Amino acid sequence: MKLELSRVVQGCRLGVLTGLGKSGQRSLEVPGCLLYTRCATVPHLTQDTLHTLRDLPSVTQVSVDSLAEHHEVLEEFKEGVRKFAGLHDTVLFCSLHDSANTSPTGHVTNKTVSVWGSGGRIELTVARFMAIQAAIQPDCYQSMADGETWQAGTSRKRVRKAVDRSLAHLDECLVLHQKTQELKQAEIFGVVEGGDILEERLRSARETAKRPVGGFVLDGFHSAAMDQDVRVQLIKVTSAELPQEKPRLVLGVGRPDEVISCVEAGVDLFESFFPFQVTERGCALSFNFTIDPDPETAGTSTPRVLEFNGEMPAVKKLNSNGDENAMPYEMNLKDKRYQDDFRPLVEGCSCYCCKKHMRAYVHHLLVTNELLGGVLLMLHNMAHYLGFFKALRDAIASDRLQDFKNRVLHCRVGD
């Protein structure tokens, strides 16, 4: 696996992550996102339905917390979760936690971390963690780490201990990685911890970079955990300590404005849990990410994106934990105003939902709790989110990042 950068503009790294998968033939454009799943399935979508979407990420994310309960079954199956779940040809990345879930804290020790499955808490030693990885058979995975230092008010002593534990876990994981036949061709990502303490972030980054890892996971920067300005500054100084040729994946960041700020700070990869969270709220992504066409190229391609059709969407305000937010990126299709709105969710969107159905119908599905409502919304929200990342890459490539930011951020409440 190798990150080939084509340009770096205002801190943004544009390039291609090559050599992915066991064949080494797959690649992923950066900045980009992984394909989010729960128990190795994209929520609401079958594989055939999912693949009606264009330009899906080549890397699918699974998580230990959703698969740990199936460890014995996967061990007996012997062929990994890719075949077990009937996935199409994809590269698998395995994270420790599902960022769309909030888990209880306070269940870590010097030797163990805990994940939470449907049956409750599962305590993991490094040996058990690595046995689960061997059963999953991912192409890349993050090492076990103590990531419980994102809460406000975490003491310096606790943060230092988390960094020490995470480095010790990484060293143990690397030893077992070399001894595990099922992981011989896999890459391990080191986890950078440190909470909001600059010295510990730097120490974690420098020490992790000394280990033979394929990439880096930046943990503890979740949307609910940290002020955005603090997050950006910490990521900038942390990234400066990491090798340029290895990818950086940030966990827990998905909102468009936060994605842009993290890309400017040097992040390459993101999760894609955000469209799922929007879908679960009964909302549709509807923000505009189209840059006005360059006069020289106007008319040579169809606009990728999306106006508000002359109105502001019915916005559900979300807070930092995902329930209230001042960013009108979505329309709440449960709102009664859409019961007789016969337009597509977003004019010009080419997803199945927008081509075949109208807002009034999706509103009806949602208020009557029909399962099809979630399917159609998830299709649209994934298509919109992936289009946002493609437009972001195009903006960096064409030196129009500021225009792109203005377009995406112009609808911030209060602006």
Residue where a domain stops, chosen among 279, 301, 316: 279
Please give the full DSSP string across 158-177, using - where no structure is assigned: HHHHHHHHHHHHHHHHHHHH
Query: Do 255 and 150 sit in the same domain of this protein?
Result: yes
Residue where a domain stops, chosen among 257, 279, 301: 279
State the Cα–Cα distance between residues 92 and 3, nearest whole angstrom: 17
| 237 burial type by CB count under 10 A (0-12 exposed, 13-18 middle, 19+ buried) | middle
Residue 94 in marked binding region: no
Query: Do 243 and 118 sit in the same domain of this protein?
Result: yes
Query: Do 156 and 265 sit in the same domain of this protein?
Result: yes
| Phi and psi based region of residue 117 (left: phi greater than 0; alpha: psi -120 to 50; beta: remaining) | beta
SS (H, E, C) 366-411: HHCCCHHHHHHHHHHHHHHHHHHHHHHHHHHHCCCHHHHHHHHHCC
Query: Do 334 and 269 sit in the same domain of this protein?
Result: no
222-237 per-position pLDDT tens digit? 877 688 899 999 999 9
Q: Are 311 and 340 in contact (CB under 8 A)?
A: no
State the Cα–Cα distance between residues 311 and 140, nearest whole angstrom: 44
Model confidence band, residue 296 (pLDDT cutoffs 50, 70, 90) = very low
Model confidence band, residue 302 (pLDDT cutoffs 50, 70, 90) = very low
326-336 per-position pLDDT tens digit? 347 999 999 99
Q: What is the CA radius of gyration of the chain?
A: 21
Number of domains within the chain: 2
Q: Which of 391, 202, 347, 373 is nearest to 283 (CA)?
A: 373
Phi, then psi, of 177 in degrees rounded to 5: -55, -45
Residue 351 in marked binding region: yes
**Domain boundaries, position 404:** 284-290+329-410
Q: Which of 386, 389, 390, 403 is nearest to 293 (CA)?
A: 403
Q: At residue 314, does pLDDT exceed 50?
A: no
State the Cα–Cα distance between residues 277 and 46, nearest whole angstrom: 18
Distances, alpha carbon 398 to alpha carbons 244, 388, 393, 405, in Å: 22, 15, 9, 13
Residue 12 counted as domain residue: yes
Q: Please tell me the pTM assigned to this model.
A: 0.91
Query: Do 348 and 217 sit in the same domain of this protein?
Result: no
Identify the pLDDT of residue 413. Answer: 32
Q: At residue 318, does pLDDT exceed 50?
A: no
Least confident of 88-97, 220-229, 330-339, 395-404: 220-229
- Helix, strand, or coil here: 2? strand
Model confidence band, residue 293 (pLDDT cutoffs 50, 70, 90) = low
Residue 336 counted as domain residue: yes
Model confidence band, residue 104 (pLDDT cutoffs 50, 70, 90) = confident
Model confidence band, residue 305 (pLDDT cutoffs 50, 70, 90) = very low
Q: Which of 223, 281, 273, 208 is nearest to 62 (CA)?
A: 273
Residue 354 in marked binding region: yes
Average pLDDT score, the chain: 89
Give me 10's structure tokens. 């205002």
Query: Do 335 and 272 sit in the same domain of this protein?
Result: no
Query: Do 246 and 347 sit in the same domain of this protein?
Result: no
Q: At residue 138, does pLDDT exceed 60?
A: yes
Residue 91 counted as domain residue: yes
Query: Do 58 and 128 sit in the same domain of this protein?
Result: yes
Percent of the chain exceeding pLDDT 70 equals: 89
Give me 55's structure tokens. 């330009």
Q: How far is CA 175 from the centre of its chain?
A: 28
Residue 76 counted as domain residue: yes
Query: Do 257 and 383 sit in the same domain of this protein?
Result: no
Query: Do 18 and 91 sit in the same domain of this protein?
Result: yes
Query: Which CATH number belongs to the domain containing residue 95 in this structure?
Result: 3.20.20.105
Identify the bridge partners of residue 285 per DSSP, sorted by sequence position: 330
